[in-house]
Structure 1
Amino acid sequence: MKQLIGVVVLLLLVVAPATAQDNVLTLITHDSFNISEDVQAAFEAETGITLEILPGGDAGQMVNQSILSKGNPLADVMFGIDNTFLSRGLENELFVPYESPMLENVPEDFVLDEEHRVTPIDYGDVCLNYDVAYFEENELAVPQSLTDLTDPAYEGLLVVENPATSSPGLAFLLTTIGVFGTEGDYTYLDYWTDLVENEVRVVDGWETAYYGEFSGASGGEGTYPLVVSYASSPPVEVYFMETPPETAPTASVVAPQTCFRQIEFAGILAGTDKVEEAQQLIDFMLGVEFQEDVPLQMFVFPVNQEAELPQIFLDHAQVVEEPVVIDAAELEANRADWIQAWTDTVLR
């Protein structure tokens, strides 16, 4: 009898870890991902699934890692692939289709894959940001178009990020391509030539541009009153101030055809044996609880129309009505050439 009990105990010890492991779902995501502890706990309590977060670098690194491990994925679900890398992920068959019933609350404009291999989760607009005090003190009109930036009135006022090393830098390059095109009498390269003549400053990344060069950032010591950032940057400025002001010290230019919309997606990675659990996570990420957590965790906008924005976003975020959009397949086919042409024009 004692031997039988011993065998049973041994079996339980062997089976228990495997069962616990079966309830772990791994999410690979970019380094900017964040989720409130109580929201993650709610998902785990509702489903009995333990969510494990695997940082994958920036969006490009994450996609490249997943392509290299295709068929034997590092995780079960990916979050953070955006429309600038989407076609690469789809062409490499990284994802399996899943049409979440929660998509009924998401505008069709965000659904870029008709086969539902990826699901839109959030979006943000890359726009010009400006130092409100600088423009008021100098009685200078805020630029309302990309062309305005080539005016001598704005000489030496703009700092941008290198599109080869920065996601917002790439988004701004794509904005100029969407507006000026690649063929004709005046192309995006002609535009960038004019920006160079107007003494645009180029730095490697967003953090350097925003906190190192931009004069409007909290704690920043920069001298440039114009920077490429996000439409959600002004509420962030207010959010992190010890004594929040009534008006944000920065604002975004949201005039038509001046911003590029980035949409972030989640997808179930091909090769996972936890498809049902992954589907539950996708549904949860589209639910109101997660969607309302997004703005103050990642400072982007939810795609679910039923999610309410926090008051600080309602007070200080600006809505982009006409963002620039470039077809994902066209982007994938030309990204490297566009960046190389930009490098030859601007940096050499």
Structure 2
Amino acid sequence: MFLASVLGACAPKEKITKVVIYTAKENEEIEEFIPVAEAAMPDLELEVLRLSTGDLTARLLAEKDNPQADLIWGTAATSMIIFKNEGMLEPYAPEGLDVILPTFRDPDAPPSWVGVDAYLTAFCYNTVVAEEHGLPMPASWEDLLDPVYEGHLVMPNPASSGTGFMFVSSILQGLGEDAGWAYLSELDKNMAIYTKSGSKPCKLAGAGEFAIGISFAFVGARLKREGAPIEFVLPADGAGYEVEANGLMKGAANPEGAKRFLDWAISDEALGLYAKYFAVVAKPGFPVPEGMPADTADRLFPMNFQWSSDNRDSLLEEWTTRFAAKTEE
């Protein structure tokens, strides 16, 4: 099911070559990044399809034998590993690859995918709603199991949201599968709804509809800057994270145009834009966004993306069986 819109670039008539980009990036990022990319490559018409991570992954797999995209931009590394294993990606070393941290790219040379930034889990805590209901600010994952939060929590469904999948995967990796599923069962008792979008829990908390949204950190930081009564909390017991990555589609209609975009997508110009939204980017040296802790990178839980990718289908099947009934319409 589509959870976001198709954003097509308004291209001047002199543009002669179209590049089709599939992405799971947020609409506000796309709206800022694409005009900058078009200014850097004025002969390219950039056509962007935006879906949530789960829906984008399903669509790309469905199009495996007849790819419609030229490239993937800003999609979870766990999904990119699946696409690589399915033979859907054309290995490509974009210009400037040598400055990208090794942990942000496929280890093969040339790589099938290259990461650009990392999003991490945070709690978005509405101070006004919390005060009305006498809810303390949670500091850790364990705190969220307190019965005082029953009906006041909201988080993303991992089947549609990369943020939700990253959260569930980090819990299972951190606690072990038996203890992890037990934790998620207890957490479900306090959960009001599961959303289809990764950013929506924080936006709902910011709007005062719920006290606490489990989401990704940059949304909380942005809402707080915009004046929402939000505090965002990086859990003391470690924040799960996911790398957003890019890759060239095998069988792309416009591989040369796609390669030019992939080169731009790890340029300092592009990395500077990512750094406005994310505290962790693929090249060191960029300042963290306003409102984010300077030591954010040190608070990350050590994720095993290969495990997440290998176990994705079984994890989502189990989660859906247990908890999906609370998903929003």
In the alignment, which of 97, 106, 110 is matched to residue 103 of structure 1?
Answer: 97
In the alignment, which of 276, 281, 285 is matched to residue 302 of structure 1?
Answer: 281
Distance 2:188 2:66 in 1: 46
**Structure 1 stretch displaced more, 129-138 or 50-59:** 129-138
Once the two structures are TM-superposed, the CA of residue 306 in structure 1 deviates from its matched residue by 4.2
Distance 1:131 1:53 in 2: 37
Partner of 1:261: 241
Identity %: 18
Once the two structures are TM-superposed, the CA of residue 127 in structure 1 deviates from its matched residue by 2.1
Residues 258-297 of structure 1 correspond to what in structure 2 (within 5 A)?
A: 259-272=239-252, 274-296=254-276
Q: Does 1:165 align with 2:160?
A: yes
What secondary structure sits across from 1:338 in the alignment? Answer: helix
Partner of 1:126: 121
Q: Deviations over 1:103-157 (max 9, x none)?
A: 3322222124434111112221122222245667888653332222223454444
Residues 172-321 of structure 1 correspond to what in structure 2 (within 5 A)?
A: 172-183=167-178, 187-197=179-189, 199-206=190-197, 209-212=201-204, 214=205, 217=206, 220-222=207-209, 224-241=210-227, 249-257=230-238, 259-272=239-252, 274-296=254-276, 301-309=280-288, 313-316=289-292, 319-321=296-298
Residues 84-95 of structure 1 correspond to what in structure 2 (within 5 A)?
A: 84-95=78-89
Q: Does 1:144 align with 2:139?
A: yes
Once the two structures are TM-superposed, the CA of residue 308 in structure 1 deviates from its matched residue by 4.4
In structure 2, relative to structure 1, the CA distance for the partners of 1:307 and 1:177 (3 Å cut) is same
In structure 2, relative to structure 1, the CA distance for the partners of 1:31 and 1:235 (3 Å cut) is closer
Partner of 1:14: none
Q: Does 1:335 align with 2:312?
A: yes
**Structure 1 stretch displaced more, 169-178 or 29-38:** 29-38
CA contact (8 A) 1:254 1:320 kept: no
Residues 11-160 of structure 1 correspond to what in structure 2 (within 5 A)?
A: 21=16, 23-30=17-24, 32=26, 34=30, 35-36=32-33, 38-45=35-42, 49-70=43-64, 72-115=66-109, 116-133=111-128, 142-160=137-155
Distance 1:192 1:66 in 2: 29
How many residue pairs match? The answer is 306
Distance 1:59 1:102 in 2: 26
Distance 2:220 2:101 in 1: 25
Once the two structures are TM-superposed, the CA of residue 268 in structure 1 deviates from its matched residue by 1.2
Q: Which blocks of at least 5 consecutive residues in structure 1 are unaligned?
A: 1-18
The amino acid across from 2:38 in the alignment is A
Once the two structures are TM-superposed, the CA of residue 59 in structure 1 deviates from its matched residue by 2.8
Instruction: Report the aligned-residue RMSD.
Output: 3.2
Q: Give the TM-score normalised by the residue count of structure 1.
A: 0.74
In structure 2, relative to structure 1, the CA distance for the partners of 1:109 and 1:127 (3 Å cut) is same
Distance 2:58 2:240 in 1: 23
Q: Deviations over 1:58-114 (max 9, x none)?
A: 233333333344465323222132123122111111111122342332222212443
In structure 2, relative to structure 1, the CA distance for the partners of 1:226 and 1:76 (3 Å cut) is same
CA contact (8 A) 2:117 2:243 kept: yes
In structure 2, relative to structure 1, the CA distance for the partners of 1:238 and 1:274 (3 Å cut) is same
**Structure 1 stretch displaced more, 281-290 or 70-79:** 70-79
Distance 1:126 1:196 in 2: 17
Distance 2:25 2:300 in 1: 25
What secondary structure sits across from 1:100 in the alignment? Answer: coil
Partner of 1:9: none
Once the two structures are TM-superposed, the CA of residue 237 in structure 1 deviates from its matched residue by 0.9
Once the two structures are TM-superposed, the CA of residue 177 in structure 1 deviates from its matched residue by 0.8
Distance 2:291 2:49 in 1: 32
In structure 2, relative to structure 1, the CA distance for the partners of 1:323 and 1:285 (3 Å cut) is same
CA contact (8 A) 2:37 2:264 kept: no
Q: Which blocks of at least 5 consecutive residues in structure 2 are unaligned?
A: 1-13
What secondary structure sits across from 2:78 in the alignment? Answer: coil
What secondary structure sits across from 1:331 in the alignment? Answer: helix
Distance 2:170 2:118 in 1: 16
Distance 2:172 2:52 in 1: 23
Q: Does 1:345 align with 2:322?
A: yes
Once the two structures are TM-superposed, the CA of residue 192 in structure 1 deviates from its matched residue by 2.2
The amino acid across from 1:236 in the alignment is R
What secondary structure sits across from 1:27 in the alignment? Answer: strand
Once the two structures are TM-superposed, the CA of residue 232 in structure 1 deviates from its matched residue by 1.0
